[in-house]
């Protein structure tokens, strides 16, 4: 059982997820391509600074490609959006406060080799490391 639900992940992206929304439903959306707005909405959760949002967006999609995308991202880009939304949803769940979640994501952590969780989470394996750290914090387990 996971700490956060697919419904909570969809909420970060402001997707209309009906009751009973499952991982399979989320996977289906990703394979078809998420709306471009899901990326923009998710990234605003991480920072109010446009420069930070732009830099994070560039880890998901190249700037020129982003400008060319009309409505939908491709599956690979959508996977990156879900990864970041998942990390944010879990961070918010653990800290139970949006601002505290942002502070955690932007603060260097010794269990991440002094890197910021927001930087580590830009890859799937890095996101898993951040989620593991968050689970340890949530359950009070040693690092």
Give dist(CA 131, CA 79) in Å, integer. 16
pLDDT at 143: 73
Q: Report the predicted TM-score, pTM, of the whole model to 2 decimal places.
A: 0.95
DSSP 46-86: H-S-HHHHHHHHHHHS-HHHHHH--SB--HHHHHHHHHHHH
- Segment 33-68, tens digit of pLDDT: 999 999 999 999 999 999 999 999 999 999 999 999
* Cα dist from 27 to 66, 96, 118, 140, whole Å: 22, 26, 23, 31
* Sequence ranges of the domains in the chain: 6-139
Q: What is the mean pLDDT of the chain?
A: 95
Please report which confidence band the pLDDT of residue 13 belongs to, taking 50, 70 and 90 as the band edges: very high
């Amino acid at each position: 059982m996971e700490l956060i639900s697919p419904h909570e992940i969809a909420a970060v992206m402001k997707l209309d997820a009906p009751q009973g929304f499952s991982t399979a439903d989320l996977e289906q959306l990703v394979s078809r391509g998420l709306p471009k707005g899901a990326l923009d909405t998710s990234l605003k959760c991480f920072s109010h600074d446009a420069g930070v949002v732009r830099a994070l967006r560039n880890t998901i999609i190249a700037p020129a490609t982003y400008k060319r995308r009309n409505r939908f991202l491709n599956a690979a880009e959508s996977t990156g959006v879900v990864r970041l939304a998942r990390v944010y949803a879990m961070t918010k769940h653990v800290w139970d406060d949006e601002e505290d979640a942002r502070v955690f994501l932007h603060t260097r952590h010794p269990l991440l080799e002094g890197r910021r969780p927001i930087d580590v989470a830009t890859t799937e394996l890095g996101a898993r490391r951040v989620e593991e750290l968050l689970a340890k914090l949530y359950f009070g387990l040693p690092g």
